[in-house]
Chains A and B, each alone.
Chain A
Amino acid sequence: FCTATASHLSKMTKATETATFFAIISAIYFTFLFGIIPLPEIVQREILPVLPWWALITFGSYSLGNIGYHVYRFRDCEDAYHELMAEIQLAKEDLRSKNVSTEDNVL
C-alpha cells in the first residue's frame, strides 16, 4: 500500500502526508471514543481505550522484527568491508586536513 500515496497527485511532502494520515485516524478514533458514534458496550469500554497503546506496541514489534529479520538475512561481503574501511580512512584524513573534528566518541 506504499504506492498509494497522495504525494504524486497533489503537492504534498511525505511529512504532510503522514501528518494528514494521523489527523484522519485521530479524528475517527476520537469520534468513537467520545461516543459521538455509538459502539457495542464491550468495544466502547474495553477495546477503544487500549487501541492507541496497541498501535504503539505493534509499531515497536514491527520495527524490532524488521531489524531482526534483516540482521538474520544479511550477507557479509568481505571485499565491501575493506573497501568501506579504506574510504572511511580517506574521509577522516580529508576532514582532518580541513579542520573538522573526527572524534569517535560523541558522548
Chain B
Amino acid sequence: ASSGQDKALGATLLLSSVALFLYYTIWALIMPFVDDGHPLHEYFPDRSYAIKIPVVILLVGLTVVFTFLSLVMIKSNSSKKSVKKA
C-alpha cells in the first residue's frame, strides 16, 4: 500500500484543489448576484482581483515553463558542442 505520506499529500492536493475551485467559482460567478449589504461579501476581496490574480499566475507559469525549456535547450546545446569538440 502507498505510504502514509503519499496518501496525505494526495488528499491535501485533492481537498485544496476542490476548495480553490469552490472559492473562486463563488467569488467570480455568484457574488455579482449577491446584494451589496450581505455579510458574505466580507469573505471575498474586490472582484477586480478575480481577474488580476489568474493573469499573474498565468504569466508566472508561462515564464517558468519557458525558462525551464530554454535552460534545457542551452544545456543540451553546450553538451553537444563539448562532445563534438572532444
A: which residues have CB within 8 A of B? 42, 46-47, 49-50, 53-54, 56-58, 60-62, 64-65, 67-76, 101, 103, 106-107
Q: Is the CB of A53 within 8 A of B12?
A: no
Q: Is the CB of A68 within 8 A of B25?
A: no
Kindly state the separation between the CA atoms of A105 and B72 in the bound complex, as whole angstroms: 10
Does B40 lie at the interface of the complex (its beta carbon under 8 Å from any beta carbon of A)? Answer: no
Q: How many A-B residue pairs have CB under 8 A?
A: 96
Q: Is the CB of A54 within 8 A of B28?
A: yes
Q: Is the CB of B13 within 8 A of A57?
A: no
Number of B interface residues in the complex (CB < 8 A): 36
Q: Is the CB of A57 within 8 A of B20?
A: yes
Q: Which positions 22-63 of chain B face chain A at CB distance < 8 Å?
A: 24-25, 28-29, 32-33, 47, 50-51, 54-55, 57-58
Q: Is the CB of B32 within 8 A of A47?
A: yes
Q: Is the CB of A46 within 8 A of B72?
A: no
Selected from A46, A49, A68, A101, the residue in CB contact (under 8 A) with B13 is A68
Does B64 lie at the interface of the complex (its beta carbon under 8 Å from any beta carbon of A)? Answer: no
Selected from B1, B10, B24, the residue in CB contact (under 8 A) with A76 is B1
Q: Is the CB of A61 within 8 A of B75?
A: no
Residues of A within 8 A of B13 (CB): 64-65, 67-68, 71
Residues of A within 8 A of B16 (CB): 64, 68
Kindly state the separation between the CA atoms of A44 and B75 in the bound complex, as whole angstroms: 49
Selected from A56, A57, A65, A76, the residue in CB contact (under 8 A) with B14 is A65
The 5 sampled A-B contact pairs (Cβ below 8 Å) are A53-B50, A58-B25, A67-B10, A69-B10, A101-B79
In whole Å, how far is B34's beta carbon from the nearest beta carbon of chain A? Answer: 11
Q: Is the CB of B50 within 8 A of A71?
A: no
Does B78 lie at the interface of the complex (its beta carbon under 8 Å from any beta carbon of A)? Answer: no
